[in-house]
């Protein structure tokens, strides 16, 4: 089941209701005084119980006929109304010779025999979408939705994002990349350093206390 059936007319609903009643009559044991069928569903989770009251007034469980399970399921799909949803539980009561009543409950949580998993309630809202104000609080909780009027929770692991740093006033907001690395230092000259020669960038200076030698005497040359 992935989507509701086309809306069922009142005539179609009445016909299907009589078919369910005939299926219950056909399965009832002799001497019955009352038959009660309960149908509960959320998404793909379905529970159907049928009880028969005998002449002694005691109620006994009975195996649900397949026509009853299928018929009530078709009614649930066909009675969906956009934005409103469909009923979640129904009670079909039959008394001799053939009088019956059917009660549908669209909003109250059914009395589950076994509580459906969260995916059942999520499927319910996916198969039979409801507007926000038509989702009861208990159904919100079962489906893992936030309370009415609150924004949806972020997905797991998505924590708050850190705020973006704002540069001070007057600072340009566009940063241009610089050189990938600093330029290499000037190569060292081969041999002992000539401290008297002009110094180049990157070349070490003379040791402390050093002074240049006096020029050569022309008379000795």
- pLDDT for the residue 164: 47
In a domain, 213, yes or no: no
Residue 168 banded pLDDT, cuts 50, 70, 90: very low
Query: Is residue 48 within 8 Å of residue 64, measured between CB atoms?
Result: yes
Q: Per-residue pLDDT for 215 more than 90?
A: no
Range of the domain at 80: 10-143
Please state the domain count of the chain: 1
The mean pLDDT value for 94-113 works out to: 95
In a domain, 173, yes or no: no
> CATH no. for residue 51?
3.30.500.20
In a domain, 201, yes or no: no
pLDDT tens profile 182-210: 444 445 455 555 545 555 545 555 555 55
Residue 211 banded pLDDT, cuts 50, 70, 90: low
In a domain, 178, yes or no: no
Q: Per-residue pLDDT for 21 more than 70?
A: yes
In a domain, 175, yes or no: no
| pTM of the predicted structure, to 2 decimals | 0.67
- pLDDT for the residue 89: 98
In a domain, 68, yes or no: yes
Q: Which pairs with CB-CB distance under 8 Å and at least 24 residues apart come from 141-150?
A: 142/42, 142/109, 142/116, 142/118, 143/118, 144/118
H-run or E-run covering 94: strand 89-95
Q: Helices 10-27 and 66-78 sit at what angle, rounded to 10 degrees?
A: 160
- Which of 99-108, 133-142, 145-154, 211-220 has the weakest average pLDDT? 211-220
- pLDDT for the residue 203: 53
Residue 59 banded pLDDT, cuts 50, 70, 90: very high
**Can you tell me the distance from the alpha carbon of 196 to that of 206, in angstroms, rounded to the nearest whole number?**
9
- pLDDT for the residue 149: 73
In a domain, 48, yes or no: yes
Q: What is the DSSP string of 97-166?
A: TTEEEEEEESSSPP--SSPPPHHHHHHHHHHS-B-GGGS-HHHHHHHTPPPTTSPPPPPTT--PPPPPP-
If you count them, how many residues does the chain have? 221
In a domain, 158, yes or no: no
The answer, yes or no, to whether the previous bond of 154 is cis (omega within 30 of 0) is no
Top pLDDT among 97 and 163 is at: 97
**Can you tell me the distance from the alpha carbon of 17 to that of 8, in angstroms, rounded to the nearest whole number?**
12
pLDDT tens profile 112-158: 999 999 999 999 999 999 999 999 999 999 999 999 876 655 555 55
């Amino acid at each position: 089941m992935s989507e509701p059936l086309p809306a069922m007319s009142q005539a179609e609903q009445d016909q299907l209701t009589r078919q369910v009643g005939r299926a219950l009559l056909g399965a009832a044991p002799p001497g019955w005084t009352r038959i009660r069928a309960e149908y509960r569903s959320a998404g793909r989770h379905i529970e159907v119980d049928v009880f028969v009251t005998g002449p002694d007034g005691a109620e006994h469980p009975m195996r649900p006929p397949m026509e009853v399970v299928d018929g009530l399921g078709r009614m649930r799909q066909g009675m969906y109304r956009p934005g409103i949803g469909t009923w979640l539980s129904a009670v079909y009561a039959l008394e001799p010779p053939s009088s019956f009543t059917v009660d549908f409950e669209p909003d109250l949580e059914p009395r589950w025999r076994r509580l459906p998993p969260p995916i059942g309630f999520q499927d319910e809202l996916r198969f039979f979408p409801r507007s926000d104000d038509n989702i009861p609080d208990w159904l919100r909780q079962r489906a893992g939705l936030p309370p009415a009027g609150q924004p949806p929770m972020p997905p797991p692991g998505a924590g708050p994002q850190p705020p973006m740093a704002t540069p001070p006033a007057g600072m340009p907001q566009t940063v241009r990349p610089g050189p990938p690395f600093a330029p290499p230092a000037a190569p060292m000259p081969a041999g002992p350093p000539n401290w008297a020669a002009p110094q180049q960038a990157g070349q070490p200076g003379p040791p402390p206390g050093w002074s240049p030698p006096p020029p050569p005497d022309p008379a000795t040359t």
